[in-house]
Amino acid sequence: MTVTAARAATRVPVLDSAAAIAEAARLAAEIAAGAADRDAHRVLPEAELDRLSVAGLLAITVPAAYGGADVPVATLVEVVRLLSAADPNVGQVPQSHFAYVNHLRLRGSPGQQERLFAEVLGGKRFGNAQSESGTKHVREIRTTLSNVGDRRWRLDGRKFYATGALLADWIPVLAHLEADGPLHVAWVERHAPGVEVIDDWNGLGQRTTASGSVVLDGVVVEEDLITPYAATFDGPQTYGAFAQVVHAAIDAGIARAAVTDAAAFVRSRSRPYPDAGVDRAADDPLVVHAFGELELRTRAAEALLAEAARAVDAANAHLSEESVGAASLATAAARAASAHAALEAGTRLFEVAGTRAAAADLGLDRHWRNARTHTLHDPAAWKVQHLGRWAVDRTPPPNHGQL
């Protein structure tokens, strides 16, 4: 039986925290082996994602009441970091999946939860269709749910940056109820009539996340497959921090991969600079010092990532404005630190490894390209801004989906 057939035919294993981290580490070793080749030839990681599904890694956040392991955010973040160090494309594709599992936990009715969590436990994947194809000031391009009666709605619109939609079973679509109504999530099947997913993503990095466009033309959505979204932010919430800390895990993984690959190259292939007076480039004190700085920056990002995940878990356990604010600030710090670490490691890789590392067939440039592309999701400068406002005036961070 193929991996794809197994994904469709079986209920996935329920992994506790220790098992999930061990399985992620095992699969990461397999995934890393083909990462450079997939990047070079833009081969989408469908087989790799199927392995994650069959192993049960994409079901680890399903609530225990519905048969899942309900692992803490700290576990999820470590799983994503391990996978992203192997291939950040594989780490990023299910980011939206986990975000919408979380949305379902927060805003789904018991019936919706029972139905859609069962899909996840059966190995199915959620994608996303969030970003409008245009600016927020262009009203006519809004994705809209229009009531057609008989508890059914018509979904029309166009989305881009729809990471994971091409390889998903379900696509949660962010849409307005009627033209000016509040945002809701319409849950549509990937191959439903009127749904077209276009593989038109051509970013310089994160090439294989399949972050293309989704066209929705008269898609019929039953009312029991619509969940409220705007109401998520009416009170204290960790929805934004949850999504952001998973993004930080992706960047931390990129940073660690860049340092690891650079060190392997320096040990085995770099030539020492004559002035260093050493036989190995790895013994050049300037190279060693540079690696020390990169290791320091990467370890700091990893530590802040773990702290942020624990803060989100703590806020979930005792939800309040204070606990949510603490989680958002910790996440802002992790997001900024991991972005800086990934970019610095991806850039300085060549400084420490030398000219030979720039050979195109090695694919080492993918680390910088992946870092540069993924860190554009949300400006790190705004994370620092919120931290600064807290430090100066104890101004709490805003209550939205980016914190």
Q: Do domains 3-121 and 235-393 have the same CATH topology?
A: no
Choices 2.40.110.10, 3.10.129.10, 3.40.462.40, 2.70.160.11: CATH for 131-230: 2.40.110.10
- Domain 235-393 in CATH 1.20.140.10: yes
What pLDDT, on the 0 to 100 scale, is given for residue 136?
56
Tally Cβ neighbours within 10 Å of residue 194. 15
* Cross-strand bridge partners of residue 196: 215
Tally Cβ neighbours within 10 Å of residue 86. 25
Residues 6+ apart with CB under 8 A from 62: 68, 69, 70, 101, 117, 120, 121
Residues 6+ apart with CB under 8 A from 135: none
Residue 277 structure tokens: 């007076």
DSSP sequence for 153-218 = EEEEEEEE--TTSTT-SEEEEEEEETTTSPEEEEEEETTSTTEEEE-----SSSTTS---EEEEEE
Residue 134: pLDDT above 90?
Answer: no
pTM assigned to the model: 0.95
161: region left, alpha or beta (phi > 0 left; psi from -120 to 50 alpha): left
Tell me the pLDDT tens digit for each residue of 232-285. Answer: 999 999 999 999 999 999 999 999 999 999 999 999 999 999 999 999 999 999
Tally Cβ neighbours within 10 Å of residue 274. 7
Tell me the pLDDT tens digit for each residue of 70-123. Answer: 999 999 999 999 999 999 999 999 999 999 999 999 999 999 999 999 999 999
Q: Which pLDDT band holds residue 179 (cuts at 50, 70, 90)?
A: confident
Domain regions of the chain by residue span:
3-121, 131-230, 235-393
Choices 3.30.9.10, 1.10.540.10, 3.20.20.70, 3.40.1280.10: CATH for 3-121: 1.10.540.10
The secondary structure element, H or E, covering residue 119 is helix 110-121
Alpha helices by DSSP H, 228-320: 239-268, 285-317
Tell me the pLDDT tens digit for each residue of 51-61. Answer: 999 999 999 99
What letter would DSSP give residue 383?
Answer: H
What is the CB-side half-sphere exposure of residue 45 using CA atoms within 13 A? Answer: 36
